[in-house]
Amino acid sequence: MPETVKAWLVRKPISAIRSFLEIEAAGGIVLMAVAVLALIAANSPLAGAYDQLLHLPMGLRIGDFALEKTLLHWVNDGLMAVFFLLVGLEIKREILQGELSSRETLMLPGIAAVGGVVLPALIYAVINVGDPVALRGWAIPAATDIAFALGVLSLLGSRVPVSLKVFLTALAIIDDVAAVVIIALFYTGDISLPFLAWAAAGVAVLGLFNWLRVQALWPYLVVGAVVWLFVLKSGLHATLAGVVLAFLVPLDRTAEDEDEPPLLRLEHSLHDFVAFLVVPVFGFANAGVSFAGASVSSFLEPVPLGIAAGLVLGKSLGVGVAAWASIRLGFAALPAGATTAQLAGVSVLAGIGFTMSLFIGALAFEGPALQAATKMGVLAGSLVAAVLGSLWLVAVSRRPAVPAAG
């Protein structure tokens, strides 16, 4: 009989949540630094070289088969598929064995996440209601950047209880589920049925591996890479292949296998790679926006204003009010050791939407003007949310007293 990851953790106790939070927080701090570097590059004499680097053509040709894209597209379609693979692994683990596996632990972040997706999208849509092209960006302010947000929380140290960090993590993971569904439904191009059929065949092979409980990772990764290629050529966004692969990697292990379950092995091997390479490279490639000729009025244009308002107002109110209402109505409980005021501060930090917001913006808009407006809105909204949330948490939280020596 297969052994679940819970049983494995009982036999080999590890602080999985603490390790996850530490990696994500450190990755978030790196992401902040990379975003600053991208802004410096885009607003300095290096701007020309920065733009040329991103649009450097790169490709692969085998006979009549050709796959040619710019470096920016390789980052967004290739490296981000690895990011989505990790996201999918985390979602599957949390749903089956983690913070989202029971009604009690799911209710608070689940209800809060619904409010945090719906209200930002509505605010953006109201501000951009007269422009059908701009309306394609309605989902941009709907996602929380888990690494960036936890990075900010880590700077506050012990002022914020671990339970609130776990709440924010669960909230962001549910946000990621919503983002994956939104990308699949609303941000796909023309579909090529032959390539889609080949991708489906590859998924069937992955399903067979899962059914046979294949414990080695390399068969999943090899077939997953082929599925990614077919999905890329099919018209669906290639990052969806990463999520599909993740959900077909087994979370159970055989009784004879003394190693971690395959899903945990892959998740652990990818965590540092994604946190310290994939996401920072994506941030550097997508955060650089030139402010030449920009003014305060530039940030008040409908697209950047809708994004920033959605992140700052929509997220804080959507998450905060939904969480408060679920607690007052008895559907959920306040995280252990936390106060309502601290929960409100974390709700504001949920408005940090850097990575996923920039990614959805790149899918929503093709023109450079709207893409630049997207970056302005995401950067402004995320910065304001980070500052306001941090100041609020510092004001309402006290650092735990250090016991006197003796």
> What DSSP line would sit under 186-247, residue for residue?
HS-----HHHHHHHHHHHHHHHHHHHTT---SHHHHHHHHHHHHHHHHHTS-THHHHHHHHH
pLDDT in tens, 324-376: 999 999 898 888 888 999 999 999 999 998 888 888 898 889 888 898 899 99
Under CATH, what is the fold of the domain 16-187+265-396?
A: Na+/H+ antiporter like fold (1.20.1530)
Alpha-carbon dihedral sign for residues 357, 359, 365, 369: positive
CA distance 392 to 397: 8
- Report the pLDDT value the prediction gives residue 156, as an integer from 0 to 100: 77
Report pLDDT for 402.
47
Return the pLDDT at 280: 87
User: Residue 406 has what pLDDT?
Assistant: 43
Top-confidence residue, 307 or 276: 307
pLDDT by residue (tens digit) across 192-238?
Answer: 888 889 999 999 999 999 999 899 999 999 999 999 989 888 877 77
Mean pLDDT over the full length of the chain = 83
Q: Which of 287, 248, 18 is nearest to 145 (CA)?
A: 287
Rounded CA-CA distance 276/254 in Å is: 32
Mark residue 189 as left, alpha or beta (left: phi above 0; alpha: psi -120 to 50; beta: remaining).
Answer: beta
Between 44 and 22, name the one with better pLDDT. 44
Work out the angle between the directed axes of helices 16-42 and 354-364 (0-180°, nearest 10).
Answer: 50
Report helix angle 239-248 to 162-186, nearest 10.
120
Confidence of residue 8 (pLDDT cuts 50, 70, 90): very low
Contact, 120 vs 182, CB < 8 A? no
Count of C-beta atoms within a 10 Å radius of residue 188: 14
Instruction: Return the amino acid letter for 359.
Output: F
Q: Say how far residue 233 (Cα) sits from the centre of its chain.
A: 24
Tokens of 297: 């009025």
DSSP count for the chain of H helices, then E strands: 19, 2
What does the pLDDT look like over 236-282, one tens digit per residue? 777 788 889 999 999 887 656 667 889 989 988 988 888 888 888 88
pTM of the predicted protein model: 0.79
Q: Please report the pLDDT score of residue 351 as a whole number.
A: 92
Give the CB-side neighbour count of residue 351, counting CA atoms within 13 A: 33
- Phi (first) and psi of residue 68, to 5 degrees: -125, 125
